[in-house]
């Protein structure tokens, strides 16, 4: 037997007084047989006072004596005593259970990946134009197509159908909320430049230019859809559709500015 083992167990002997062995402790030893518990019990190992007397009286020959009375091999006897002390010591010498943190971690990682694979996230898609869409056209569902997204969008064709394009959307380009508007506002303005208006065809995208009558103040150009031109004597009134977002901008200039219509390239 290795001297260090013997020495270790000898050192542990000092703990006997504070740490009584019990049948319960012995039962906790892994792989201990009931027969071994009985043998240790008969040998007086559970009786602390008797055991201590034996240890004191026999001057270190405790193991030979215990071995003789238990008929257990010396290594097994040492192992049993050591394990029973480790399991019953206060405070504990050893953790009573194995550390399963790594097992739990691995299971958690596997479950996480399995969950991600078998319960996939909501399908990610973006919407692209199936054909060229002119400005101010109400978008139909067949104008659009859904494609798998690579940038995390959750767009669908439904959310764009029925909206109006504010500018020309070319085929295969991705739609975004800023290009579209849900509502068009009708605006009737007296047009100063009649020549341009006479040449204009209806339902055509134009620019409504509101130019301040005070030279220093400037003006604004608003994209619009020309839908009607009415002649009332010398006055020509144009009916235009503008996006609801431009409504307030137009309102600022109406009454204080002259209105012009500029043709836009389709």
Partner 1 sequence: MNDFLTKLSGQVTGAMIIGTLFPVLLFLLILVLVVLPVTPYGHQYADLLKDPQNWKGIYAVVATLILLLLTVVMYQLNNPLIRLYEGYPWKESLIGRLLIRKQKRRWKHATAMRDGIFGVSQAARLERVRGELKQSLSTKYSDFTLELSKEFPYAPEFILPTRLGNVIRAFETYTIQQYNLDAIVLWPRLQAVLDTNYAQAVDGVQSAFSFMLNLSFLSTLLAFFLAAVGLHWRYPGYLGWFQGWELWVVVLLVLSWLAYEGAITRAVEWGLTVETAFDLYRLPLLQKLGYEIKPNNLTEERQMWDIVGYHLGYPGDGLCCDLPYRSPQLWVITEPACAKLSCSRTVTPIDDSTIQVRIVISNLDPTRLGVDSILLKDEIPAGFTYLRDTAVVNGAPVTLEADSPLKVRLGPLAYNDVRTVVYCLKAQPKSATQ
Footprint of partner 1 on this chain (CB under 8 A)?
3-4, 6-7, 10-11, 13, 59-60, 98-103, 106, 109, 112-113, 116-117, 120-121, 123-124, 148, 150-153
Nearest C-alpha neighbor of 196 from the set 238, 137, 136: 238
- 62-70 and 48-58 helices, crossing angle to 10°: 130
Between 91 and 119, whose beta carbon lies closer to partner 1? 119
Between 149 and 239, whose beta carbon lies closer to partner 1? 149
Burial of 201 (0-12, 13-18, 19+ CB in 10 A): exposed
Non-local CB neighbours of 118 within 8 Å, separated by 6+ positions: none
Between 100 and 234, whose beta carbon lies closer to partner 1? 100
Q: What three-state secondary structure class fits 255?
A: coil
Nearest C-alpha neighbor of 17 from the set 85, 104, 87, 117: 85
Between 47 and 146, whose beta carbon lies closer to partner 1? 146
Nearest approach, Cβ of 197 to partner 1 (angstroms)?
A: 46
Instruction: Please state, in angstroms and rounded to a whole number, the distance separating the CA atoms of residues 100 and 263.
Output: 76
Task: Let me know: does 222 contact 246? Beta carbons within 8 Å.
Answer: yes
Tracing tokens 């010498």 back to the chain, one arrives at 93
Q: What's the gap between Cα 165 and its chain centre?
A: 34
Instruction: Please state, in angstroms and rounded to a whole number, the distance separating the CA atoms of residues 181 and 243.
Output: 6
Nearest C-alpha neighbor of 126 from the set 160, 161, 159, 153: 153
Nearest approach, Cβ of 117 to partner 1 (angstroms)?
A: 6
Nearest approach, Cβ of 10 to partner 1 (angstroms)?
A: 4
Nearest approach, Cβ of 244 to partner 1 (angstroms)?
A: 29
Nearest approach, Cβ of 57 to partner 1 (angstroms)?
A: 12
Between 118 and 255, whose beta carbon lies closer to partner 1? 118
- 62-70 and 34-42 helices, crossing angle to 10°: 120
Nearest approach, Cβ of 36 to partner 1 (angstroms)?
A: 23
Between 10 and 247, whose beta carbon lies closer to partner 1? 10
Between 149 and 167, whose beta carbon lies closer to partner 1? 149
Nearest C-alpha neighbor of 160 from the set 184, 134, 185, 181: 181
Nearest approach, Cβ of 147 to partner 1 (angstroms)?
A: 10
Nearest approach, Cβ of 42 to partner 1 (angstroms)?
A: 25
């Amino acid at each position: 037997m290795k001297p260090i083992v013997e020495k270790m167990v000898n050192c542990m002997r000092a703990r006997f007084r504070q740490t009584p062995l019990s049948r319960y402790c012995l039962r906790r030893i892994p792989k201990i047989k009931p027969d071994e518990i009985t043998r240790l019990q008969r040998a007086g190992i559970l009786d602390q006072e008797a055991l201590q007397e034996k240890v004191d009286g026999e001057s270190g020959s405790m193991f030979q004596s215990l071995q003789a009375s238990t008929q257990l091999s010396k290594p097994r006897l040492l192992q049993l005593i050591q394990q029973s002390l480790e399991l019953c010591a206060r405070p504990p010498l050893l953790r009573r259970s194995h550390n399963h943190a790594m097992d739990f971690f691995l299971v958690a990682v596997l479950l996480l990946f399995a969950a991600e694979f078998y319960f996939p996230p909501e399908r990610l898609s973006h919407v692209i134009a199936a054909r060229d869409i002119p400005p101010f056209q109400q978008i139909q569902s067949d104008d659009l197509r859904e494609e798998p997204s690579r940038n995390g969008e959750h767009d669908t064709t439904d959310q764009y159908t029925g909206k109006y394009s504010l500018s020309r959307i070319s085929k295969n380009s991705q739609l975004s909320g800023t290009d579209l508007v849900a509502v068009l506002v009708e605006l009737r303005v007296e047009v100063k430049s009649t020549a341009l208006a006479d040449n204009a065809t209806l339902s055509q995208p134009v620019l409504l230019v509101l130019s301040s009558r005070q030279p220093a103040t400037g003006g604004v150009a608003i994209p619009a859809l020309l839908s009607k031109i009415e002649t009332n004597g010398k006055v020509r009134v144009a009916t235009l559709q503008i996006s609801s977002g431009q409504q307030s901008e137009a309102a600022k200039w109406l009454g204080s500015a002259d209105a012009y219509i500029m043709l836009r390239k389709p």
